[in-house]
Chain A
């Protein structure tokens, strides 16, 4: 590797060829402020905030896009650089609805941080903000054009990670906006509500529909029996909302924190993840044995369901009819659980804590209602919203003592925990399907080939002489590749796991804004560590699962399963 010698702020340093000034400065502890820059994205250099002085250059250089050269002399804080940074931030602020104190991103906003860091005390420029309509049309996501700083991060994640192009830069100059095609509403352009745009937005131009007040209202309503379920992926990310080290497993603190809020019972979505494995595993075996539609594709990820319903409805018969674990939980809570504790289902209020914005739209689907009136899951909060809510309640998360989930939905398995990571559902299913079909005990529980951040992963498993080829895809761009293989008859897979977001749910659109691919990997590592720590690691060995079949469901794919745990999909193409 060629090393480049240069000077930054009088420090002589040596960095590998190809390093940008921005990253070179980090090696000596200098964080140059940035705004459009995102470590997982292409260099856009739109905002012009990260400019620095390079000796001998007529103009300032954007540190994000300028690679170091031999003998380069950089001053990150020359008078000209400081003034230019300030001016460019002031220019952005002059066209920004800077209602910081009442903003969703208050104290968690990259623009606010920049303005503070630049020491802006007064904006020398007149405001040019013309307030435009806020797009509230999506069930999951709100787009506020009055906050948009035109960095282009949302455009890129939607185009390059998901392959969807829901938003783009429309128009030019000061009338340029980041909009869906023809300025339509998000609800009219086949957006799948994955929320990755809201995850990468540096400001509050795109954010999840906030439902925190509804949760407070329910908690403070004495008539309601309020229960909560926490998704597998939240336990490895919620700590980041409280500045804990990424990859920290904080399951026990999460349970404590939810109790602090005054929620009656704290349950784990892992329980219905185990239930999903039993139902989905049996569905797969039924399809294999009875000439059903194959390959079968998983159905846990609502962004993915939104995608296939709107883009590939002809392949809907391939999708497992199993509801997602969130919705299985809602249905079981308002039937089995209500019966068990003797409470009217209408008085049970189910909260979900999800790493996901699409879960909000899933919970609102009309078919996700046992009684046809009330939703099975009453409200969905993202990991980020839970973070905010805990802060509202004054909960000092990192100092909480560990607590354990309530029963009957507190006994879960390692197979359920790994639902949070890409490949996890597949691995959990293989652990069960193998033992059910072969009658043998799995020697090696870890299916490492289906783990990790590679876009599409394949594996083959021998089920009593039948070779079953499986695939795992995460992100919609990768899912599309698999669907095209199926459509053109080139797929020899029998079972496919699809997760909408990069890395699976641990990298979901509702996760903390700190999310990057490096942090996704840490959350994945934490997820498999949590799996290893579980006393039971196969869904079919869970005593809680055995009980629910004995007491209520009778058998997998039985009548009650069909009524409560399975669903159907709609062709939503040309709506």
Chain B
């Protein structure tokens, strides 16, 4: 953490990081941990959900759905049993913020999970951790064991009637398993492929029962909300995006890492002031937000604020909070080919546009890059991208062409320069 940036840094969920031993529950308790849970067991489910709603917390996994509304849906169902799933399958390239939380403050996340389970009367929870996160899997398993001994997990949580069984599951390396339904399929022992929506997991998730599924970071916020109140959390950040966001900053910056910032900070501030800018006085060529599935923006847009609404108005999103800086030494088409190769490899293959579309995008991009494409190819590329967005089965295919779509928009000249018959008349494509 760079401590010189007091305005830019706001420690809500990273306050313990580096200060406590993640393998010691006592360290966490001594730092004020599990107080929120003690408080929560005395509250009703409605009271807890109301606090979350008051916080305006939105899902930190990328989609940004209001967490309180999701919890309320699971609270209000009469169907039992209900399940809880913590999505710790952090597979989006450029994201490593959940890893930081899992490895450095496991009990904060566990406490958030237990609070949610108590609020919604859920007795079984799964923490689905990315298969490559060996260390995190070990730490979380130990943390569950410790929390069980202390009576925070298992039967009669904090000497109440609540019980919660928590189980760690790990993926086998498929990116698609970060998609909530593919993840649920994987928990059920099936191949990771998405399901039709609706019904959403809150209605029919694990074993076709109501399921609360949230990201590591989202659950990690809940202890703060219960301790301090939803209103206090809502006061952090902007009117349209409350609280803080963990940013995974990587690429060509002096100080890559995870930063917790309040909403409203600009992308440029994160790169320049927290990241220390690009090394060797090189210029930024482009920045990708969110990860491989996120938009690529030019340096002229770096004053954009981290804010769900402001970004949505521009047709972009910060996803789960990655900022990848690419300097002027890199060729745009090389970057795009790498990204599209990733999606070509990671598509689950279920639906036509994603299964077949990614490799066709790659073919068209290669054709453009090697100078043999015509304006027809460019138009086809645009059409294909928009069909993938509008008809893919799940978020993977819908988001896969984002890098292409945004570079077509913000780096039109790079394309134009490679296309023989590109002219002013065809600029409207």
The dominant DSSP class at the B interface is helix
Rounded to whole Å, the gap between the CB of B190 and the closest CB of chain A is 10
CB-defined contacts of B357 to chain A, threshold 8 Å = 91
User: B285 contacts the other chain (Cβ, under 8 Å)?
Assistant: no
- Residue A162 interfacial (CB < 8 Å): no
CB distance from A179 to the nearest CB of B (A): 12
What is the chain A residue whose CB lies nearest that of B356? Answer: A91
Q: How far is the CB of B317 from chain A (nearest CB, A)?
A: 13
Choose one: A47, A80, A174; the contact of B359 (CB below 8 Å): A174
A58 contact set on B, CB distance < 8 A: 390
Interface of chain B residues 23 through 46 with chain A (CB within 8 A): none
Contact B353 A91 (CB under 8 A): yes
Instruction: Determine whether the beta carbon of A174 is less than 8 Å from that of B358.
Output: yes
Are B387 and A172 closer than 8 Å at their CB atoms?
no
Cβ of B261 under 8 Å from chain A:
no
Do A172 and B383 touch across chains, with their CB atoms under 8 A apart? Answer: no
* CB closest residue in chain B, given A124: B380
Q: Is there contact, CB below 8 Å, between A48 and B392?
A: yes
Which residues 44-76 in A have Cβ within 8 Å of B in the complex? Answer: 45-49, 51, 58-60, 62, 65
A128 within 8 A of B: yes
Report which of B191, B193, B387, B393 forms a contact with A87, defined as CB distance below 8 A.
B387
Chain A residue nearest to B384 (CB atoms) is: A87
Using CB atoms, name the residue of chain A closest to B198. Answer: A67
A491 at the B interface (CB under 8 A) = no
Task: Determine how close the nearest CB of chain A comes to the CB of B89; give it in whole angstroms.
Answer: 15
Would you give the 0/1 interface string for B72-110, flagging 1 where the beta carbon is closer than 8 Å to chain A? 000000000000000000000000000000000000000
Neighbouring A residues of B147 by C-beta, 8 Å: none
- B352 interface neighbour in A48, A65, A83, A128, Cβ under 8 Å: A48
Give complex CA distance A173, B340 in Å: 12
A126: Cβ under 8 A from any B Cβ? yes
Partner of B360, one of A80, A94, A150, A175: A94
Whether B156 sits at the interface, judged by CB under 8 Å, is: no
A88: CB under 8 A from chain B?
A: yes
Judge whether B347 is part of the interface by a CB distance below 8 angstroms. yes
- Hey, which chain A residues are within 8 Å of B349, CB to CB? 150, 169, 171-176
Task: Give a binary string over B347-389; 1 marks a CB under 8 Å from any A CB, 0 the rest.
Answer: 1111111111111100100000000000000001001101101
Q: With the chains together, A45 CA to B195 CA distance in Å? A: 9
Let me know if B327 is at the binding interface, CB within 8 A. Answer: no
CB distance from B195 to the nearest CB of A (A): 10
Residues on A with C-beta less than 8 A from B387 are 83-84, 87-88
A97 to chain B, nearest CB (A): 15
Cβ-based interface call for A125 (8 A)? yes
Evaluate whether A45 and B353 lie within 8 angstroms (CB atoms) in the complex, with A87-B383, A172-B176 already known.
Answer: no
A150 lies within 8 A of B383 (CB) = no
Docked pose: A427 CA to B352 CA in angstroms: 47
Interface pair A173/B390, CB less than 8 Å apart:
no
Min CB gap A119→B, angstroms: 15
**Contacts A46-B350, A88-B387, A150-B349: A176 and B360 contacting too (C-beta < 8 A)?**
no
- Chain B residues with Cβ below 8 Å from A442 are none
Chain B's nearest CB lies how many Å from the CB of A252? 45
- With an 8 A cutoff between CB atoms, is A95 at the interface? yes
CB distance from A150 to the nearest CB of B (A): 7
In the assembled complex, A92 has its CB within 8 A of some CB on chain B:
yes
Is A43 located at the chain interface by the 8 A CB criterion?
A: yes
> What residues make up the interface of B, taking CB atoms closer than 8 Å to A?
174, 176, 191, 193, 196, 344-360, 363, 380, 383-384, 386-387, 389-393, 398
15 contacts between A and B (CB under 8 A): A46-B352, A48-B353, A49-B352, A83-B387, A91-B356, A92-B352, A126-B360, A126-B363, A128-B363, A150-B352, A169-B193, A169-B349, A173-B346, A174-B349, A176-B355
Chain A residues within CB distance 8 Å of chain B: 43, 45-49, 51, 58-60, 62, 65, 80, 83-84, 87-88, 91-92, 94-95, 124-126, 128, 150, 169, 171-176
A91-B352, A176-B355 are known; give 14 further A-B pairs, CB within 8 A: A45-B196, A47-B351, A65-B196, A83-B383, A84-B391, A88-B353, A91-B360, A128-B356, A150-B349, A169-B193, A169-B350, A172-B347, A173-B348, A174-B358
- 9 shortest interchain CB distances as A-B pairs: A176-B349, A91-B356, A173-B347, A87-B387, A48-B391, A59-B390, A60-B390, A172-B349, A84-B387
